[in-house]
Structure 1
């Protein structure tokens, strides 16, 4: 045997012994072995790797980092060294360098499941949820032994959700306890917004594998989406016991606390996370949203600006500033947004956010033509991500009108829950509903809440539609409900909304889309008060067009669709007035602005509430406000928002054409 071969064999044996020590957590002996190897074979990469692993195992993280950094500089194609360095950096809470090291590791060797797994956990903290999802799919692909599940993952990553669902369901027929397949199926449901199905799937997954932490995190997220936020918090607490301090679960916890209205606790948690991960732009925007909701305007602005400093192309932060409605962009900020939009590599979501923000910034500067160009560009991009069919909406309104005849609401049929606790404020978004809510919530007998999802959830449940192509049983089922069923549904609604209330006798539900379900509401809660927040058609529709909604309102990204939606809304509201005369109060935004006290007194009288001066001074109310109008309703009444659409008269010709049946001669 040559001297070289002998030397190689000695290294191999020594390294093998050291690896065995590491496998058995014998870190001190492994460290000594690695150091002994270096004495004989200086700069031996495997010895440096062993030393780095041993030092991390001993908790000597700074030394491990130094050793491993020296190794990757010396040997730049050692994938496991990059992975070990990433693990060390992660334990040192140095997230950004850890991500870089992981990306280098998987670039050198795609088949490193633990690198993909850690990437899937760290990328959400960096604001890259899409990258995180892809990393987790690659982790599952490497760790799964099922070719079918591998195909399902490929379909999911390609956005082919029906194919992914089909493969998963076929796979589960033969492998019903495959928790990875169950969780993937739940992810499909989450993507489709079918949170009820996702909840059931994740419950099954956790029953089979209680220690499946990612599934539990998904479960907490779904519970929070379904307004079961207290239960979601319990799931996070379980995760905290299993893996204390893990960033993804702490981020989810902050979101849950916001949903529960525990804003101070949420902001404190965001502050702590930002201290730990100061480069993560998404944390700053989330904190900004919470600060905005409780009226801390200056702090919210500062937080959004910090997000931009952390990530200059982060469109959500710019739109968050614009969405304050009272924020005036500086010239340098406008130029910065335009610069970012010129980057062809900019993500689509950032581009959409920036377009809407620029539209608002330029409109404020009275550069109307350029402002509309950006509004239009943002809407066109957003429209590509939405599934909306105006014909479906019109058909649903036709069916609702056909079912909800006057006889259905006769006294003999109204056997629902007779409590009069709730005041519904309905209409289109951006029609003044938040102003009406703030006025009423300033009364000592009324609790303001937010846009509550319970009626929409009830409609979906009654519809019993498991697939988009199926015909829903709703609205026809409204006529089939027995008196006992109506009473039970009304009581269920009040029970589920209780957690949003305070101690006042009445509370507000201002979900605007509930205008479509007044028939159901009046069957299950016949004593409920309903206020239709109505605004000039052109003002309403244009205000919707320039608003980037966080979710829902898919009709709002096309002028023609908005116009048709408004016509259907008016048609249905006229029907409700016809079959239930006097049951719905229409309040025109323009009348409120021009004759404020008289309108306030009329609203209070309709609700059976005594007049209180505080309702005229609604802007002094310090309650949390969860909508885009939060800063506007903290100001006294003003008229500057009337008819702003007229600055875009030529550009809005397609909208005016659709709305022609409603518009008077002044609009021609």
Structure 2
């Protein structure tokens, strides 16, 4: 009973309450593998990867034939920059359940993350051959994303067949996204757009809020991030590391820019780290007893120092540790004021892209999160407007170190744009930045397929093939 309650709390993202219940189980039964697994998953979600490795290893020892703890342990090893250990765990899981496509899927995802596209394709294809399972929808989706098909040999019939075999709304949605991208690649734009609509509508049903519900939150951010508050930053603060935040809208090219900069000899990256919100903000909220952003009015020098130390701990997980460490979570734009107070030496790169092109990319990509602006063009239009309003607020502070970059300019004139950007960061351009695609650095974002190619401008005008129906959807209420 207690275990069910703990798992339910975890699913609801009530991590503190879930942790309390899992620990209560371990107090009475220290060998309970499921409770250890639960605590390991909480550590993973909070990006406490060392603790996650320890807890999940113990969970796997106590549940030696369970796949979920093994897959979570692989994620934890990746979190501590031990991809070889992650690979060992995933290969073991595959041997443990060789007739189950799920461990093959996770192994293929590992290859994909690390740029081993041929191995990923082969492993996904083998997983598909095992039979029809719930994970089959995701396997087909990834095979479509890899794009190794043509009009004669493709996955359209597989996807239509799977749709007749499942009543699960999420699996149907994934199939719709895969069919849409299949028809897009096969140049049947009418069919493609129809399936994109089906996929978005189905995912919208799974969303539990509306974008307009966020407006009061954004207004509060503006209210509490005053000129006086920003001016209170300790300009004397210096550090051995300069935190660099790539911010903006999703699908604006943040992964591309991150990979380019991370190829520079002075840069490293955390990827899309949630440490600011999950650690620094959560700590301040806990200590003040006040939610963000109202808690900003209760900051003290001691709280600032301790919250800063939490993020420094995250910075030290980067591999290798270099003078500039990137965090490319786009939504960090919501916390620029707090970040600047914690790190007056931080740099912010605001990446923008043509609105219609961004909207099209949002509309045609599957985001695992059921947030309305990821699956509804009118909702995205509103989300984009509140982002622009908040960014205008940040830009109004003369001391805020924000550099604006256009995706279109970046891909059209990469060397010139990078030289100017690196100048803002007090660095010099290096040719190795343009060879980023040759690296095998892990990429877990939606761009993990495309990022292994040289810079190109192929995506700039892609939305125009769908211009008429896209603009019509954008105008709907």
TM-score strictly above 0.5: yes
C-alpha deviation, 1:302, in angstroms: 1.3
CA distance in 2, matches of 1:537, 1:472: 36
Verify: 1:229 aligned to 2:27, yes or no. Answer: no
- Per-residue deviation, residues 465-502 of structure 1 (Å, max 9, x unmatched): 9xxxxx97211222331233223212221113322331
- Per-residue deviation, residues 245-296 of structure 1 (Å, max 9, x unmatched): 5544334323322333322222233223222312212111111111011110
Structure 1 partner of 2:410: 592
Cα 1:190–1:345 shift into 2, 3 Å: same
CA distance in 2, matches of 1:337, 1:581: 56
Verify: 1:487 aligned to 2:311, yes or no. Answer: no
Larger CA deviation: 339-348 vs 504-513: 339-348
Cα 1:639–1:247 shift into 2, 3 Å: closer
Q: Please tell me whether the aligned partners of residues 113 and 443 of structure 2 are also in contact (alpha carbons under 8 angstroms).
A: yes
CA distance in 1, matches of 2:34, 2:418: 50
- Per-residue deviation, residues 405-436 of structure 1 (Å, max 9, x unmatched): 222211x4437954252111111111000111
CA distance in 1, matches of 2:217, 2:159: 41
Structure 1 partner of 2:209: 388
Q: Please tell me whether the aligned partners of residues 247 and 351 of structure 2 are also in contact (alpha carbons under 8 angstroms).
A: yes
CA distance in 1, matches of 2:171, 2:65: 30
Aligned length: 472
Q: Secondary structure at the match of 1:429?
A: coil
Q: Secondary structure at the match of 1:587?
A: strand
CA distance in 1, matches of 2:150, 2:318: 35
Q: Please tell me whether the aligned partners of residues 403 and 479 of structure 1 are also in contact (alpha carbons under 8 angstroms).
A: yes
Q: Please tell me whether the aligned partners of residues 156 and 179 of structure 2 are also in contact (alpha carbons under 8 angstroms).
A: no
C-alpha deviation, 1:342, in angstroms: 4.4
Q: Secondary structure at the match of 1:499?
A: coil
CA distance in 2, matches of 1:252, 1:575: 40
Q: Secondary structure at the match of 1:501?
A: coil
Structure 2 partner of 1:318: 140
Q: Secondary structure at the match of 1:474?
A: coil
Cα 1:332–1:413 shift into 2, 3 Å: closer
Q: Please tell me whether the aligned partners of residues 288 and 299 of structure 1 are also in contact (alpha carbons under 8 angstroms).
A: yes
- Per-residue deviation, residues 97-135 of structure 1 (Å, max 9, x unmatched): xxxxxxxxxxxxxxxxxxxxxxxxxxxxxxxxxxxxxxx
* Structure index of larger Rg: 1
Structure 2 partner of 1:349: 170
C-alpha deviation, 1:397, in angstroms: 1.4
- Per-residue deviation, residues 39-67 of structure 1 (Å, max 9, x unmatched): xxxxxxxxxxxxxxxxxxxxxxxxxxxxx
Structure 2 partner of 1:400: 221
Unpaired segments ≥5 residues, structure 2: none
Q: Name the structure, 1 or 2, with higher relative contact order (CA <8 Å, separation 6+).
A: 2
Cα 1:580–1:518 shift into 2, 3 Å: farther
- Per-residue deviation, residues 327-366 of structure 1 (Å, max 9, x unmatched): 4466443332443254163432221111111111111122
Q: Select which of 455, 473, 482 maps to 2:276.
A: 455
Q: Please tell me whether the aligned partners of residues 560 and 654 of structure 1 are also in contact (alpha carbons under 8 angstroms).
A: no
- Per-residue deviation, residues 78-102 of structure 1 (Å, max 9, x unmatched): xxxxxxxxxxxxxxxxxxxxxxxxx
TM-score normalized with structure 2 length: 0.92
C-alpha deviation, 1:553, in angstroms: 4.6
Q: Please tell me whether the aligned partners of residues 284 and 307 of structure 1 are also in contact (alpha carbons under 8 angstroms).
A: yes
Q: Select which of 79, 91, 95 maps to 1:275.
A: 95
Cα 1:536–1:289 shift into 2, 3 Å: same
CA distance in 1, matches of 2:290, 2:465: 42
Cα 1:425–1:277 shift into 2, 3 Å: same
Unpaired segments ≥5 residues, structure 1: 1-179, 466-470, 660-668
Aligned Cα RMSD in Å?
2.5
